[in-house]
Amino acid sequence: MEQFQHYIDGCFEPGSARFESTDPATGAVWAEMPEARAPDVNRAVEAAARALKAPAWRALTATARGKLLMRLADLVERDARRLALLETRDTGKIIRETSAQIAYVADYYRYYAGLADKIEGASLPIDKPDMEVTLRREPLGVVAAVVPWNSQLFLSAVKLGPALAAGCTVVLKASEEGPAPLLAFAELVHEAGFPPGVVNVITGFGADCGAVLTTHPKVARVAFTGGPETARQIVRNSAENLAVTSLELGGKSPFIVFADADLDSAANAQVAGIFAATGQSCTAGSRLLVQASVADEFACRLREKAEAIRIGAPDEMETEVGPLCTLRQREKIQAVVDASVGQGARLLTGGVIPEGPGRYYPPTILDCRKAPKAPVICQELFGPVLALQTFETEAEALELANGTDYAFAAGVFTTNLTRAHRMMRDLDAGIVWVNTYRAVSPIAPFGGSGLSGHGREGGLAAALEYTKVKTVWMRLSDDPIPDPFVMR
């Protein structure tokens, strides 16, 4: 078995305990991982707190921090193939997706490398003639970055990049489900030359690791990606240390197709929006809302495309849908699909667990026109399952689209420009894609509201969220300050 280690204070360590990781494609144990418990977590946070104040990091210019991030980007690009293979092996995400995504991750580090010396303060036009007031942006402090197993190198880059650009130090907690690529990524942090303690990478389970990390008194910010239930616990934990929280959570994102849309283009985007990454994406377009006059035609196109998808081993480039990461996911998905069919949803394709090893689940489409309350419509499944509903009018489409407690992403397909503008204005979503879906860039922030969380990642906005503002008052007059207790 392959062996992985934690990275704490510039050193690689085996952890207080060890646990086994299984290959989702075969169910076989393939690696042994370190398990962080309270002593490991405390040492990681203490190391980050020391590094925050140590001259090796604190005295670095912003430009020098940028150069370290640029070096890290180069190393990620160099080792992208190895990192992609590890992510595929440990999570089941297909190699064609991990390869493309990790290659792009390097661009996120390059973006924040260039941004490091452009996080500026300000001079205020204060209303007192003998005073000068400036604002300084300084590092917020120690950051606990908690990421899930899906897209973990990307989701860590949108936290680690802006945090380091701003001058913070970080304890990065990889999910216990598939932590291999982030533990390997720590080797690149070390090689890039970051001072000890600036970046620490650990993994472990809830009470012994996650809770200790997010309640630690020296943690100033918790940046979390995951599900609403864990997020609620993190918010409760933050009451202990009053840490700032940013929460990038799940979604039931609407994918809205009007009758005037290019249906071929919309169908291809919908297939990518729900079946790419085996549906294991926070922005998955899992609710198809299609105008009634083209619903049957569009459903037929989708069914043909879904049934043509190649399901197979995730390490083969020809594979288009691989296994789910955990058996728990698959059991939940099947239960919700069965319950939805029981309430009147019609199965158009998929919906049956295939025989054989691995945690596979087929691309599945449910026609919910006769089951408006089916659980598949409102529950995030994190799998390749699409719920189809129809609408007659633009107002009805908006009502359906905004009819959940999630507000992460939305897609709109129409050739009517004024309608597109009305929809993007009125949709409750942190991201609206018009005539496209799942486009990302390091320049563009993303995030949601409601059950989809709060805060933004990506872009300049993210870097500013890792800073705190210090107001500096300087008196310009050479005259002595008068005695405040002498009446004049």
Residue 481, domain member (yes or no): no
Indicate if the pLDDT at residue 213 is higher than 80: yes
Whichever domain contains 67, its CATH number is 3.40.605.10
**Nearest to 221, CA basis, from 207, 237, 208:** 237
Indicate if the pLDDT at residue 68 is higher than 90: yes
What percentage of the chain carries pLDDT values higher than 90? 96
DSSP symbols for 325-394? S-HHHHHHHHHHHHHHHHTT-EEEE--SPPSSSS-----EEEE-TT-TT-HHHHS---SSEEEEEEESSH
**Nearest to 295, CA basis, from 413, 376, 387, 388:** 388
Residue 313, domain member (yes or no): yes
**Do 275 and 381 sit in the same domain of this protein?**
yes
**Do 285 and 352 sit in the same domain of this protein?**
yes
Whichever domain contains 360, its CATH number is 3.40.309.10
Tell me the C-alpha to C-alpha distance, in Å, between residue 475 and each of 121, 127, 133, 469, 485: 19, 13, 9, 20, 20
pTM of the model: 0.95
**Do 24 and 166 sit in the same domain of this protein?**
yes
Q: Do the beta carbons of residue 188 and residue 154 sit within 8 Å?
A: no
The pLDDT of residue 487 = 76
- Selecting among 87, 97, 248, 380, the annotated active-site residue is 248
pLDDT in tens, 168-211: 999 999 999 999 999 999 999 999 999 999 999 999 998 899 99
Residue 450 bridge partners (DSSP) = 406
**Do 108 and 172 sit in the same domain of this protein?**
yes
Let me know how long the chain is.
488
Please, what sign has the CA dihedral across residues 23, 97, 76, 186?
Answer: negative
**Do 220 and 337 sit in the same domain of this protein?**
no
The pLDDT of residue 488 = 67
| Helical H segments across 139-276, by residue range | 152-165, 180-192, 211-215, 228-241, 263-275
Indicate if the pLDDT at residue 1 is higher than 90: no
Indicate if the pLDDT at residue 140 is higher than 70: yes
**Nearest to 283, CA basis, from 115, 114, 146, 458:** 458
pLDDT in tens, 415-436: 999 999 999 999 999 999 999 9
Could you tell me the residue range of the domain that residue 419 belongs to?
254-434
376 CB neighbour count, 10 Å cutoff: 25
Mean pLDDT, all residues of the chain: 96
Domain final residue, candidates 387, 406, 434: 434
Q: Mean pLDDT across the stretch 103-115?
A: 96
What percentage of the chain carries pLDDT values higher than 70? 100
The pLDDT of residue 250 = 87
**Do 468 and 410 sit in the same domain of this protein?**
no
Dist CA 465 CA 469 (whole Å): 10
Indicate if the pLDDT at residue 212 is higher than 80: yes
In this prediction, residue 486 has a pLDDT band, given cuts at 50, 70 and 90, of confident
pLDDT in tens, 245-289: 999 998 999 999 999 999 999 999 999 999 999 999 999 999 999
- 248 a catalytic residue: yes
